[in-house]
Each structure stands twice: as C-alpha cells, then as structure tokens.
C-alpha cells in the first residue's frame, strides 16, 4: 500500500573558508550614495576644518613667493591673478572635485587607494599572497574587464606580465608617499612661519631670527601634542577655519571695493598671455610661486574616507573657492596701489581694526593646517605597512569616533625634527616655498598617471576622454614642475633629497620583505609531511593554545621544523596565523578569518589567515584571541555540518518502472512499502551518525574552551636575513646593513601587534637570500 513521504530538502551548500555570518553582510553602496542631505551638509561643514586648512592658508605667502624681487609692472598683477584663479579652477575643481574623487576605493582616497584599486583588478603586487577567497569579501567589488573592451583586457595582461610595469607603479606609489611625508614636514614650517611673521607689523623691532624662534616654539608644541590625538577634529576645527574663511573673504571684498575693483578683469585669460609675453622667462619662473595657491589639494582626495564626494564638492565650490578667490582678488587690488608691500601682502592689506583678530585666527588656522597634514601623513604611512613598505611599527588610534585618526611616535619625532631644522635653516617662506611646490606638483603628477591607469583598466572610458585627461592635466603639471625645478638650488633640492632617502629606505625594506617571502615559500614544509615531522621529532602535546605567526598564507613555514627540533613540544591546539592586508579599505569582522585544517583532525592543527583592509586597526590581544577562538569553534561546526550534509554517491535507489521515481522537489512523492523501509533504515542510520557528529563537535568546542583557559602562547620567527656570499655589493649593503638597521632600530613586530611579553616566544632562524 502506497504511503506518502515528504522528500527531504537538498543538502546545505558549503561556504568554504568563510563562516556563516559572511553571507549576511550586504555589499557597500557607492560612497555617499545613501547619505541624507542633512548628513551631507553636516559632513560638508566638518570637511572645512579637516581638508581645507592647508589650501585655505595659502594666501599668506602666494604673492610674496611669486614676486620675490618685487613687482616691476602693476599690470603683471592681472596676469598673476588670472593664473591663480584658473589654476584653482583647473586643478582642484575640475581635476580633483569632479573627476579624481570618483576613483575612491570604497570611500577612501589617496595614492595608496589608487594603487590598491588597480591591484584588485590586476595582479601587480610583488608578493604572491592572493587567494581566491579574497574576491568573496563583500567590500572587494572586483569586476572583470568587459570582454567587449579588448583594451582593458590588454592593459590587464600587460600589467600582470610586465615586471617593469609593476615596479613603475610601485615606485610611483612610494614616491607619492614620500612627497606626502615631505608635505607634512614643510606645511607646518611654511604655514606657522608665514602666520607668525605678521607680528612684525605691530612689533617692527622684532628680528627675523626672533620670528623664527617663536615659530619653532609653536612647531614644537604642535608635534608634542600629536600623541593626544584629534578626537573631535571635525567640529572643533571647522568653526575656526570657517571664521578664517569669513575673515579673508571679507577683507578681500573690502580691498576689492576700496582699492581697485578693476582687477575683476583677470577672469579674462588674455591677461595670462600678455603676462608671459611681457615677462618671458621670468614669468615662467614665477609659476613656482603661483602653484602654491593649490597646496593641500591632494588632501581633499586623501581625506575623502572621513566624508563623501558630495560633501567635499559642496564645501569646495560653496565655501573654499569663493573665499580664497575673493582674498586673492583683494590682495591684487591692494598691490595695484601699494606694490612695495608685496613681501608682506596679507598683513599689510588688513584694515587696522581687524589686524589682531585676523592675526590670532591666522595662527590657529596655520596650526590646524599643520595638524591636518600630519594626520594625513600618519594615515598614509599606516597604510604603507600593508604593502610591506616599512617595518611594522606601533600605530596608535587616537580616536574612537573618527576613523583614520592615527599617531606613529617614531614618524612624528622624525617629521617634527625635520620641520624645525627646515625652519631654522631657511628662515624665510620664499626658500621653503620652493621646496614645498615640488612636493605639491609631484604628487599631482603621480595622481594623474595612476588615474590614467584606472580609466584604462577599471572605468574603461573612451580613449579620447582618457587622452584629454592625461594631456591637459599632465601638460599643465609638467609646466609647473619645470618652473619649480628651476629653483632647485634655492631650496628645491630639499624635497628631492628627503624623498630620495625615504624612498630608498622603503624600497630597501620592501625588496628584502619580498625576497624573504619567496625564500619561505620555496622552503615550506608540505602539509602532507606534517605527521612524519611530528613523529620523527617525538613531539609532545602540551596544554594551551599556540599561535605561530607567519607571512605565508599557505604551507608550513620553515621556522616550524626548527621549533619542533629545538623544543619538541606543540600546544594541544596549534595554529599557523597569518596577518594579511587586502587591497581594500576595510574588511568587516564577519569575514575576518579564513580557516583550514592542517593534517589529520586528531592533530588539532589549523591554518588561519586574518584579513584586514589597509585602514583597519588590529584588535586588542584579548579581544583578538576571544574572537579567534569563537570563529574557530564556528569553523569546526561548519565542517561538521558540511560532512553531515555531504551527499553520498551510492545512496540512490533502484526502483522498477511501475513505481513512481523520486523527484528532487518539494512535492509529495509516492513509494512502495519496500522502498520506504529501505529509506527509513538509511534515514535512521543518518540520524545516529548525525548525533555522533554533533556530540563530537560539542566535545571539540569544550576542548577549545579548556585549552584556552590554560593560556595562549604567541610564537614568532626572529629571522636574521643576510645576503648570499656571491651577491653583489649593492645587495649586500641593502640586505646586511640598511634592512638590518631598520629592523633593529624601529619597533618590532610583536610590539606592533601588541602581544604581551609574558606570552611571547621567539624562535631564531637565519635566511640567506
């Protein structure tokens, strides 16, 4: 007699290497696309205090840097003002606000964001640690080049197959980083010195040396308070800079009306042609001072992660541009009547009743401009660690409310010392401005080149649009750069020397880091030999949990065999732990860990890759350990569920033609009693097996809790890297001296990871590369 039986649903699909929460994570939207207008206006207000301090204080020194030898013809002011206005329109407004900002990496901007964006679409990183599971992270957003656009596919293949192209892109990235560090060093020097110089208007007896000493005292204060952070940076700085913009706009409008409203003719670009015709080479050289009007432009892109595109567009076009444009026009109108005041244009043009309020706000604005650039430099350097460009140093997150507010003690000390030395050595803003301009324009040029790659590979824009972008902006930046380079001996050499040193150190560290990774990869112990390794060394299992840190994301690192030979004991639960930075801004905690079983299950040895974005911060050791063990138990649960629901190949049922065949659907199937008895018997066996598996899983979870209570020990390989005897002299210098010096004198890895000293065990090993 037929009996109705409900067909069991299909087995669960396994999400390999990821735990269950990952599938619940929604993909992030376009940066700022879901933000309300009230929130956008609030962000626009906050952005005033964070990203416009530098470009907003440029009126302090632009005219004095453009006319270091005085104004020969007052008509030159119209040409210079026209150049200033159109430079502001073309570079910050058209290039950055309306184009570059859209090349953000899930909301984050800057040179590293562009590099990471490119590295997701093309394998251009030097270290082969890419895993297929990385593309499953919800923030990854990788999109394969359209097959219809062969150009994008061709660019991808060329980048991946050309070692030279990889080196060029990496070099551009670290050059941009070096220039930003230089910018962070020079911004405090030139901003503070320019602001403090105004005091001589009311105290003419002060010498330039005394002004320099006052500036040095303020600089010392700025760098000393960095460790306290800027927890309320947005709403604290925004009102001050807003007052500053109101003041300079009001003073500019006053001078425009009182002295010469005719300077508005400068909107006619013909005055630019007349200026160059009249001055020739001198006009070309003056571009090095004019370009200082756009200092801090890169900050709009680099600090985008705190805001959104629309907020930056509103604040720039609605507040910054009108304010600084009025200020520059007012100064030009004033200088048409008093050209002899060009060395100190800003303070000379202030109406007497407004001098002291403006002076005080100018000092505060200079401090804020310095603070913003320093915060940006710290953030970029913290990202540089994710590329293996510098040693793991302790990155202190100074704000729980505002992301990206970090502090690096070693870098702060070196930048502060360099800024003070520059101020004392150069004494005037003219020489500092020559060095400053090179940092600014070089960064512009690097962004243009990386943006061109983004347009070719990712945006897949029409070739005419890409050519226009590259030719127009690239040629303008090249003209400015050529002008600044003409002042190489007058201070322009400083950023080149500084960048050369920083780039050399970063390149040396990265080179050895990559060579060390390849050495470990070539000397890994296959997982299949794990049992033999443990048996041959008579390894005992001791209570507790052991974490062996390694750069490798696959295989057993060569330091492990050395560990078991020297100390033939392994913790009851042992894990090969890799800290890996993906080329994205951040990884949601639910997708943090990838797990693998290493060897037989009874060994209880695992491989774990902890994945972070380049803006993510590492958790506190206790929080990390608890989170790790929780996810390990979840992984064991998932492995059991997968094994339990795995379909068997021999469980099909043969039935005769007159019987109704089973169908994989939710509909009711009809079977004969013999078939039902067979299936019920199999089902009963599966239930028994399922209960046994569940009991085993619970026992494993209890064991993890028990071993965790015994304590966790962190093991790290202390690798002494040396060059082979037959290596070149240059390689020996880089490996044996430069790399070793950096490794020994900067903060070590366990401090960067905040590992408690009483839980740390180091294993020494030597690599010859």
| 300 sits in which H/E element | helix 297-302
Per-residue pLDDT at 643 exceeds 80: no
Q: What is the pLDDT of residue 231?
A: 45
Q: What is the pLDDT of residue 54?
A: 82
Q: What is the pLDDT of residue 76?
A: 92
Q: What is the pLDDT of residue 25?
A: 33
- Encode 739-760: b = buried (16+ Cβ within 10 Å), e = exposed: beebbeebebbbebbebeeebe
CA 641 from chain centre, in angstroms, equals 38
Q: What tens digit of pLDDT does each residue of 139-195 get?
A: 665 555 554 467 778 888 888 888 888 888 888 888 888 887 887 788 888 888 888
Question: Distance (Å, rounded) from C-alpha 116 to C-alpha 387?
Answer: 9
Lowest model confidence (mean pLDDT) among 77-81, 235-239, 521-525, 698-702: 235-239
Q: Are 491 and 431 in contact (CB under 8 A)?
A: yes
Q: What is the pLDDT of residue 79?
A: 94
587 Cβ contact list (under 8 Å, min separation 6): 137, 139, 611, 612, 613, 616
More confident residue, 19 or 233: 233
Per-residue pLDDT at 26 exceeds 80: no
Mean pLDDT taken over the chain: 79
Give 747's pLDDT tier (boundaries 50, 70, 90).
low
| Two tokens, residue 369 | 């401009």
DSSP state of 110: S
Handedness of CA 565, 566, 572, 578 (dihedral sign): negative
DSSP state of 105: B
Per-residue pLDDT at 754 exceeds 80: no
Per-residue pLDDT at 365 exceeds 50: yes
Q: What is the pLDDT of residue 740?
A: 84
- DSSP for 63-89, please give it: HHHH-TT--S-TTHHHHHHHHHHHHHI
Tell me the mean pLDDT in the region 81-94.
95
Q: What is the pLDDT of residue 516?
A: 85
- Encode 503-528: b = buried (16+ Cβ within 10 Å), e = exposed: bebbbbbbbbbbbbbeebbeeeeebe
Per-residue pLDDT at 585 exceeds 50: yes
Tell me the mean pLDDT in the region 693-701.
78
Q: Are 176 and 298 in contact (CB under 8 A)?
A: no
Q: Are 381 and 184 in contact (CB under 8 A)?
A: no
| 385 sits in which H/E element | none
Per-residue pLDDT at 443 exceeds 80: yes
Q: What tens digit of pLDDT does each residue of 540-557 get?
A: 888 888 888 888 877 788
Cβ-based burial of 180 (10 A; exposed 0-12, middle 13-18, buried ≥19): buried
| Two tokens, residue 175 | 């050059």
Beta bridge partners of 714: 547, 760
Q: How many CB atoms lie within 10 A of CB 338?
A: 13
Q: Give SS3 for 584.
A: coil
The listed range with the strongest mean pLDDT (250-254, 590-594, 754-758) is 250-254
Per-residue pLDDT at 80 exceeds 90: yes
Q: How many CB atoms lie within 10 A of CB 116?
A: 25
Per-residue pLDDT at 659 exceeds 80: no
């Amino acid at each position: 007699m037929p009996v109705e039986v409900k067909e069991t649903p299909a087995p669960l699909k396994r999400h390999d290497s990821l735990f269950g929460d990952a599938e619940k994570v929604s993909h992030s939207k376009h940066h700022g696309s879901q933000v309300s207008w009230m929130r956008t206006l609030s962000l626009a207000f906050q952005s005033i205090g964070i990203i416009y301090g530098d470009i907003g204080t440029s009126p302090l020194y632009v005219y004095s840097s453009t006319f270091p030898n005085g104004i020969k013809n007052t008509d030159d002011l119209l040409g210079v003002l026209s150049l200033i206005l159109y430079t502001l329109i073309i570079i910050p407004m058209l290039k950055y606000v309306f184009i570059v900002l859209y090349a953000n990496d899930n909301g984050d901007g800057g040179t590293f964001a562009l590099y990471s964006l490119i590295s997701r679409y093309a394998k251009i990183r030097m270290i082969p640690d890419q895993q297929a599971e990385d593309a499953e992270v919800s923030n990854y957003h990788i999109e394969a080049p359209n097959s219809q656009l062969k150009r994008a596919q061709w660019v991808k293949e060329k980048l991946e197959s050309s070692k030279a192209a990889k080196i060029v892109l990496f070099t551009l990235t670290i050059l941009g980083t070096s220039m930003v560090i230089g910018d962070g060093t020079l911004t405090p020097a030139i901003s503070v010195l320019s602001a403090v110089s105004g005091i001589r208007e009311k105290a003419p007896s002060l010498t330039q040396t005394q002004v320099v000493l006052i500036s040095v005292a303020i600089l010392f204060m700025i760098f000393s308070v960095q460790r306290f952070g800027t927890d309320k940076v947005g709403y604290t700085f925004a009102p001050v800079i807003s007052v500053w913009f109101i003041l300079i706009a009001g003073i500019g409008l006053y001078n425009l009306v009182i002295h010469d409203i005719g300077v508005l003719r400068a909107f006619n670009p013909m005055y630019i042609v007349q200026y160059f015709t009249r001055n020739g080479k001198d006009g070309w050289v003056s571009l090095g001072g004019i370009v200082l009007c756009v200092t801090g432009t890169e900050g709009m892109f680099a600090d985008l992660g705190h805001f959104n595109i629309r907020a930056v567009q509103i604040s720039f076009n609605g507040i910054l541009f009108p304010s600084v444009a009025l200020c520059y026009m007012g100064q030009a109108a004033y200088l048409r009547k008093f050209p002899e005041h060009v060395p100190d244009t800003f303070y000379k043009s202030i109406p007497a009743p407004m001098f002291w309020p403006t002076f005080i706000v100018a000092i505060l604005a200079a401090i804020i401009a310095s603070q913003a650039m320093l915060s940006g430099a710290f953030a970029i350097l913290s990202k540089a660690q994710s590329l293996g460009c510098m040693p793991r140093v302790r990155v202190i997150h100074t704000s729980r409310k505002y992301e990206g507010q970090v502090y690096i003690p070693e870098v702060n000390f070196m930048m502060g010392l360099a800024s003070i030395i520059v101020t004392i050595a150069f004494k005037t803003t003219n020489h500092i401005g020559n060095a400053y301009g090179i940092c600014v324009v070089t960064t512009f040029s690097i962004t243009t080149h990386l943006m061109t790659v983004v347009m070719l590979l990712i945006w897949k824009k029409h070739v005419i649009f890409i050519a226009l972008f590259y030719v127009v902006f690239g040629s303008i930046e090249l003209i400015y750069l050529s002008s600044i380079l003409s002042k190489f001996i007058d201070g322009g050499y400083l950023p080149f020397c500084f960048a050369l040193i920083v780039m050399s150190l970063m390149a040396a560290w990265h080179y050895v880091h990559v060579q060390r990774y390849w050495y470990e990869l070539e000397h890994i112990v296959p997982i299949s030999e794990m049992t033999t390794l443990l048996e041959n060394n008579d390894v005992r299992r001791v209570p507790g949990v052991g974490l062996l840190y390694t750069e490798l994301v696959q295989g057993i690192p060569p330091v492990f065999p050395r560990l078991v030979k020297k100390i033939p004991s392994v913790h009851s639960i042992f894990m090969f732990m890799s800290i890996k930075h993906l080329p994205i801004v951040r990884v949601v905690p639910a997708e943090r860990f990838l797990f693998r079983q290493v060897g037989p299950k009874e060994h209880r040895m695992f491989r774990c890759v902890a994945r972070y974005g380049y803006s993510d911060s590492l958790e506190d050791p206790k929080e990390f350990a608890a989170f790790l063990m929780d996810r390990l138990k979840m992984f064991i649960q998932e492995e059991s569920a997968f094994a339990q629901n795995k379909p068997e190949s021999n469980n099909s049922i043969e039935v005769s033609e007159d019987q109704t065949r089973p169908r994989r659907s939710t509909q009711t199937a009809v079977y004969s009693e013999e078939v039902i008895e067979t299936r019920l018997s199999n089902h009963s066996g599966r239930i028994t097996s399922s209960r046994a598996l569940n009991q085993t899983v619970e026992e494993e979870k209890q064991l993890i809790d028990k071993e965790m209570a015994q304590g966790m020990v962190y093991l790290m390989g202390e690798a002494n890297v040396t060059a082979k005897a037959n290596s070149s002299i240059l390689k020996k210098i880089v490996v044996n001296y430069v790399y070793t010096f950096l490794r020994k004198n900067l903060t070590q890895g366990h401090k960067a990871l905040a590992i408690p000293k009483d839980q740390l065990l180091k294993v020494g090993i030597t690599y010859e590369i």
